[in-house]
Amino acid sequence: MTLHDTPRASDGASRPLTAPADAAAPARADAPAAARFLALLRIAIGFVFVWAFLDKAFGLGYATRSGNAWVDGGSPTRGFLSNVSVGPLESTFQDMAGAVWADWLFMLGLLGIGVAVCSGMGLRIAAVAGSLMMLLMWAAEWPPARHLSDGSPSMSSNPFMDSHLVYALLLIALALCRAGDTWGLGRFWSRLPVVRTTPWLR
Task: Identify the DSSP state of 65.
Answer: -
pTM: predicted TM-score of the whole model, two decimal places:
0.84
Measure the N-to-C terminal CA separation of the chain; round to a whole number of Å: 55
Q: What is the pLDDT of residue 26?
A: 58
Distance between CA atoms of residues 43 and 129, nearest Å: 17
3-state secondary structure of 17: coil
Cβ(122)–Cβ(202) below 8 Å: yes
Distance CA 151, CA 57 (A): 34
User: Sorting pLDDT into bands at 50, 70 and 90, what band is 1?
Assistant: very low
* Alpha helix (H) residue ranges in the chain: 25-58, 78-81, 90-96, 100-119, 123-141, 163-176, 186-190, 193-197
Give the tens place of pLDDT for each residue, 36-77: 999 999 999 999 999 999 999 999 999 999 889 999 999 999
Supply the mean pLDDT for the chain. 90
Question: 163-176 and 123-141 are packed helices; what angle lies between their axes, rounded to 10 degrees?
Answer: 170
